Amino acid sequence: MNRMYEDKWLKDFNMQAVEEDIDIDIDVLLEDEIEEDIGTGGMSELIVYNDDVNTFDWVIQCLEEVLKHNVQQAEQLSLLIHFKGKATVKTASKRLLRPKKDALVDRGLSAVIEGGEDDD
């Protein structure tokens, strides 16, 4: 994430403790995380990687608009991406994830699909 916005974002969300110990409520992330697999290739993961270009606000907005995550999920995922270097932002069949990955990449995020079998 862009350092210029990092300090402001962390202060705005009172996340000073996160720098010392990442303690994020994973239950919120799982609420809408797994979609029913409608393909034949099994489950795949859409992973977003950290970078030094995109701001927290932009990553959060992308996760809300493209993946339909709520604000709390998007904020938590952006913290995981930043502090862990990457995060699984959605789990589904490759067929469902491809357009979502393409939309995130079109918005400047670094996203890949891993796992599962091709279901073309």
Q: Give tens-digit pLDDT for 60-115.
A: 999 999 999 999 999 999 999 999 999 999 999 999 999 999 999 999 999 999 99
pLDDT score for 9: 52
Percent of the chain clearing pLDDT 70 (strictly above) = 63
The mean pLDDT value of the chain amounts to 79
Which amino acid belongs to residue 80?
L
Whether the predicted pLDDT of 120 surpasses 90:
no
Q: What is the DSSP letter of 31?
A: T
Provide the pLDDT for residue 42. Answer: 80
Amino acid residing at 73: Q
Domain ranges of the chain: 3-15+40-114
- What count of Cα atoms within 13 Å lies in the side-chain half-sphere of residue 89? 38
Could you tell me which residues come within 8 angstroms of residue 74 by beta carbon, excluding any fewer than 6 positions away? 59, 60, 61, 63, 64, 67
For residue 89, give Cα distances in angstroms to 67, 92, 118.
Answer: 8, 10, 19
Tokens representing 33 are: 């995380």
Helix (H, G, I), strand (E, B) or coil at 17: helix
Residue 30 has pLDDT above 50, yes or no: no
Number of residues assigned to the chain: 120
**Overall CATH class of domain 3-15+40-114:** alpha beta
Q: Is the pLDDT of residue 56 over 50?
A: yes
**Average pLDDT, stretch 35-61?**
83
